[in-house]
Structure formats: structure tokens, C-alpha cells
Amino acid sequence: MSTTAPIHVQDKRTTVQSMIILACLFFIFGLVSWVNTILIPYFQLTLQLSSFQSYLVTFAFYIAYLIMAIPSSFLLNKAGYKKGMMLGLWCMALGAFLFVPAAYWRIYQIFLFGLFLLGVGLAILQSAANPYVTIVGPIESAAKRMSIVGTGNKLAGVIANLVFAAVVIRESDRVLMREIEAGNYTGATLEKALDTLIKGVMTPYLILAIALFLFGIIIRYSVLPELDPSVINKNRDGDGNDRNSIFQYPALILGVIAMFFHIGTQMIALGTSIQYAGTMGESLAGPAKNIPSYTMFLTFIGYFLGIALIPKYLNQRHALVICASINLILSTLILTTSGPVNFLGMTTDISLWYLVMMGLPNALLYAGIWPLAINGLGKYTNLGSAFLVMALCGSAIMPIVYNAFVGLNATLSLIDAMKKAYWILIPCFAYIVWYGAQGYKINSWKKEISPI
């Protein structure tokens, strides 16, 4: 089996500039994506949504990955990476702009459509940027490059909620939110208070829309080289003439499932953490709003560990197995341990902090799964990348599945129902451990397992 050869046509300066640009792209991924963790409770309050409706916030955003990933691969094949990235950023700019009329009229459906367009743009960008990082050098160090650009993603994750809370939720808004949560407003006065709150998103998202549009132009005329994945990421079978379907690559298909479980469990941990803290008496108007940022900070640290250790001291596949195993243990602890903990200004059950701690090992799951799944796809690289991007819809589907299990435990208190529903994390992490240990080796659905 061949491995990816590094690109030699770039000089060192161009390579460094390319990685900086890609890190900026991943920062945008994180800034737009991870703010959803605070948008869920924020929209639930300001738009007076049910719990199910609030989870549609992430559903509308991430379902775009499922719908648009394969069309994105064809777009990239036709337009090339750089022009495709520009179009993706412009689509995101339109989605961000729609937040302005949505907030002005406080219309939930327009917000959902804007979120969907943001997801469509990100689907295009992810389809381009992830394989780009993977095949721009040796496959053995792909996880390291993923970690380097991933620091931009998780840095955005650390600051996204903090920036949102600082820019959108002013001090007067916090007071208003507490009063609304306390039931001090009803009827027309409640509607007026909610109108005041929701309009806080207008200016930030208008600025974001302009920035995304301009960055699209910068990407189009940047030093990023165009790549030919059919030449660089050579097929496992040489020229690959005996494989005429993407489905003849078991490591990819099994990797797509692993990616779905990883992304889905990550969003469960992030998207439910504030709400879970709320069952313990902590409010969005208080320190609980920072919980997703704590998780992202740990993930940010995890990426630096990946940069330092992979591949010199730690094989990227071993890192995947170790990190998935740690999260499997943390999932078990969430279900089996309890007790009050006073930390960072909050008094919560210890299980919440096990949920937060998942951020550290989560850093190397994405970076570990992607190169194992995409290795040696040759002419199918863009399509295989699209399949992996489709798996990101796990962020749309898994939280809804989790919420359904919470509903099945309606006879319990909300805190116990949410805690019990976290059992769904265990089989997901167990599968990822198996994929990193054995599943990636499968080279044929019919033949025996052969190692890389």
C-alpha cells in the first residue's frame, strides 16, 4: 500500500503561509460552529422555544453537512479548491446576514434558514480544507498537521461563547434574562423584553457576514496551491483500476461511522452542558454560560499535545485509541458517580465536570480518524472527504437522539433523566476504540484483514 507523498513544488515560505491561511479557515469553522452551544439556550429563552425546538438549532446547522457534502465534492472537482473555498465563505456570509432580519422580526424559521446556509458553506469548506491538510504532506504526520490547524478551530471554540456573551449579552440583558426566567414578564411586556434581547445578535452577525465575504476574496487570490488528490493521495492498489466504487473501501466507510459517533458525542457533551448545569441551579445568565469554553480550552490543550507528540513520540493511531478509551472511561464515570463540587463559581454534580473533561481527549479523535479513513483513496479522495464531512451531521442527529432518551425518562427528575441519557456515549466511544485498533485495517469486505 502506498502512502501519501509530500508536495515538493512549494518552497518553505509558501508552505508556512498556506498553513497559516488554513489555520485561519479552521478558526472560522470553530467561531461559527461552537457558538451554537450557547445559541441553543439563548434562542430557547429569546424565542420561547420548547426543548425539542432548541435542538433544531444545531440540527438545521449540521444537517447541511449531510445534504451538501457530496455536491461539494463535485463543486471542488469542477471549480478547484481555492474557488470552492471562496464560494463556501460567501454562502456563510449570506447565512450570517440573514440573522439581521431574523432578529429584527424575531422569526425562528429565518434563523434556522440562516443557520442552514452557514452549514452549507461550512460543508464546502470542510470538504476542501480537511483533505487539503491531510494530503499536503506525509500521511504519517497528517494528525500533526490536523492538530496545528485545529488549534485555530479550538481557539475559536474557547472564545466563541465568551465573545458571544460579551458582545450579545450585555449586563442589562443579563438582568433582563434573570427577570424573564423568574416569570416577571407576561403578555405584551414579555414580547417587548424578548424583542430587546434578540436584537443583540444583529450587529455582530452583520460584521461577521462582511468579514466572511472579504475573507473569501482573500482565499481566492492567496498563495494556497491547487492540489491534485488523484496524484498525491495515491490509491492503495496503485492505479486503483480494480476498484470502481467508493464503497469498496471499508476503512473509509467504517471511518465515516466513527466520525459520526465522534462528532455526535462531542456535540452532546457541548450542547447539553449548560442545560445540564441548569438542572443543578446554574443559569445561562451566570457562570454556566462559560462551560463550553472550558471544554474547548481543554481541547485546545489537547491539540498542542498532538503537535508536540505526533508522530515523533506517539503514533497517531495509538493516540486515537488512547483518547477514545479515556472518553469511554469518562462516560462510565458520568453514569456511576455523583456528588456536589464547588468549582469556578458553580456548585454542580461532579458528573458535569467529567463531561467537560472530554474536551481534552476529543482533540485527537478527529485528527486520528480522518487520515486513517482517507488514506490511499486516490481519485476518490474528494468524494471520500465528502463522505466524512457528511458524518459531521452527527452533531445534528445525536443530540436529538439524546433528547429522545431524556424524554423516555420523564418520570425522573430532569437532572436524573439527563444523566441517565448519557449512556448513549458509551457504545459510540467503544466503536471508535475498535476502529482505531482493528477496523481501519479492513481492506476488503470479503477478504481477510491485512495491516497497513
**For residue range 101-123, what is the model confidence (pLDDT) as tens digits?**
999 999 999 999 999 999 899 88
Give me the pLDDT at residue 114, please.
94
In this predicted structure, the answer to whether residue 86 has a pLDDT above a threshold of 80 is yes
Please check whether residue 6 is in contact with residue 231, taking contact to mean a CB–CB distance below 8 angstroms. no
Mean pLDDT of 128-135: 74
d(CA 365, CA 260): 11
Measured at the CA of 26, the angle between CA 24 and CA 27, to 5 degrees, comes to 60
All three cell numbers of 3: 502512502
**Beta bridge partner(s), residue 347:** 342
Model pTM score? 0.74
How many beta carbons lie within 10 A of that of residue 182, not counting itself?
Answer: 9
pLDDT interval class at 135 (50, 70, 90): low
Structural domains for the chain: 12-441 (1.20.1250.20)
Q: Among 362, 327, 335, which residue's Cα sits nearest to residue 420? A: 335
Give me the pLDDT at residue 158, please.
66
In this predicted structure, the answer to whether residue 403 has a pLDDT above a threshold of 50 is yes
User: What 3-state DSSP class applies to 280?
Assistant: coil
Q: Which residue has the higher pLDDT, 229 or 220?
A: 220
All three cell numbers of 46: 429569546
